[in-house]
Amino acid sequence: MKERLVSWFNRLKTFWSRIPKKNKIWMISGSAVVFAALIAILLITNIKHYTPLYSDLSENEAGQITDDLDSKSIPYKLSNGGTTISVPEKQVDQLKVELAAQGLPKTGQIDYSFFGQNAGFGMTDKQFDVLQRAAMQTELANLIANTKGVKSAKVMISLPQNDVWVSDQDKKSGTSASIVLNVTPGDQLSADQINGLYHLVAKSVPNLSVDNIVIMDQYFNYYDLKNNNANGSTLSAYDQQQAIIRDVENNVQRRVTQMLTMMMGEGKVMVNVTANVDFTQSKEKQELVEPVNQQTMEGIQTSTEHITENYTGQGAAGQAGTGTNDSQTPTYQDGTSGNGNYQKVEDRVNYEFNRIHREVTNSPYKVNDLGIQVMIEPPTASNNASLSAQSVNDVRQILNSIIKTTISDPQGQELMNNAINQKTSVTVGRFNGKPTAQPQGSKINWLWIAGGSLLALLMVGLIVWLIRRRKNDEDAETVVEDIPQQEDYQAMLNQENPEQRKFHELEEMAKEKPDQFVKLLRGWLAEDK
């Protein structure tokens, strides 16, 4: 076996010595590249990607989980001050199921499940009350922790002592709750969330009034329910007003942009809209009386009364009255006696008119003013004259029409043309900068890396194959050139001395009959010993 290895080594050495220096460099370089590619592939495939298993853990919970992972010889990493435990990505789901089956992580807090696991007759009433309050605090803290922006919560409930001599009316005033929220940095609780927390706590604890609840965060910010309602209503109204303004502006901007884009082309138009909206609300009560017939200005006759009085006979003339002469009493005749006639005619007509009672509530908002600014890039960006004046005038007419149909003057009349022209602006010029999407952070794409590595291996293999093919061609030519003809070989043998002839014979024996050559060598070695 040893002789065979030596023979192969000698052949390899002889083969290497015949290779040209240039080909040796190519082969060494190719081998180095292939070796480096293999190492890179091994490193990439053996890299472990860690994924968070649990986060926001307490020190006790983190210690329980790490002890279990150490017992199972599972690698892990700690981050965020030991509150986050990361494990290999492929083992996350399996570990969550196994840890949950073991009851990990154990918070050490008492909840309502404690009573089901530790129910017994040896528990006193005092112990039961303490455990019940602890369970109530834990369950309430878990409910509060589900609120968006709240990481965790601590709840302290104070319950009055049960006294048979005290009226039940005093129990509600003796119950109180103090809550400390661990708010996520950067988040702010809304007014609705604060109101919800107050009512959640009040409804979860028996005989607890909202006035006896105190809520604050880890920064000692106090969340007052009364001030929160006032500030929340103001903030809510402001948000609604700003939303209405944005909606008006965006609506006009979208329609103008769509229309002008069809005229000028994509990316050639920029539109900005500013709106002044009045949110003053008012109510009016109107009492109107209108005639039924607008032409004659008369109403409907509801009743008619015709009165006629006639009297004939002595004394019908009546008394002379109190006047000093006839001109002062024209209706009656003078005298104390005589015959006469008295007549009185009276018509009474009652008309009914339309009586209108109106309670008018104005719109919650009104667009008082509107401004539209348009920038247009000409067809030839460097030449403003490439956009005709007629096109610019058409754009102005479109904007003026929108302004005219949207707003009016304080008296409710249409705006004058000069006033409308001041509210629109059209600018023609080249866009030096256009909004572009923010580049996203570069991420390692292992698929591309694997594809690149495979391509590199293929290229290296192709290079090695070409080198070997070229080398084989050169070796074939060299063999053809170096092998002498039979006549030349006989002449060379005749010219060689006996020692050289013997050496060549041995060489031929070693090539053609290696077994006999080995036996011959063994015989020589035995004779030398």
Three-state SS across 87-104?
A: EEHHHHHHHHHHHHHCCC
d(CA 295, CA 298): 8
Alpha helices in 110-215 (DSSP H): 113-117, 125-145, 171-174, 191-204
d(CA 22, CA 470): 12
Q: How does strand 77-79 pair with strand 84-88? A: antiparallel
Kind plus residue range of the DSSP H or E element containing 355: strand 354-361
* CA atoms within a 13 Å half-sphere pointing along the CA-CB vector of 125: 2
pLDDT for the residue numbered 480: 45
End-to-end CA gap in the chain = 22
Distances (CA, A) of 275 to 247, 258, 419, 423: 10, 19, 16, 11
Q: Which fold is adopted by the domain 112-226?
A: GMP Synthetase; Chain A, domain 3 (3.30.300)
* CATH 3.30.300.30 describes domain 242-281+364-428: yes
> What is the mean pLDDT of each successive set of 10 residues along the chain, which is 529 residues long?
74 77 78 81 74 79 86 87 84 83 65 54 74 85 88 88 57 78 84 88 87 89 75 63 88 90 87 89 79 79 80 59 48 55 80 80 82 91 88 90 86 83 90 54 51 68 72 57 51 59 76 77 71
CB neighbour list of residue 337: distance below 8 Å, 6 or more residues apart: 314, 315
Q: What is the pTM of this model?
A: 0.36
Structure tokens that stand for 121 in this block: 């007759």
| CA-based torsion, 184, 185, 190, 191: positive or negative | positive
Burial 207-218 (b: 16+ CB within 10 A, else e): ebeeebbebebe
d(CA 281, CA 435): 40
Do 24 and 467 touch, CB atoms closer than 8 A?
no
Q: How does strand 176-183 pair with strand 213-217? A: parallel
Query: Phi and psi (nearest 5°) for 314?
Result: -70, 135
Kind plus residue range of the DSSP H or E element containing 507: helix 498-512
Q: What is the DSSP string of 479-490?
A: HHHHSPPHHHHH
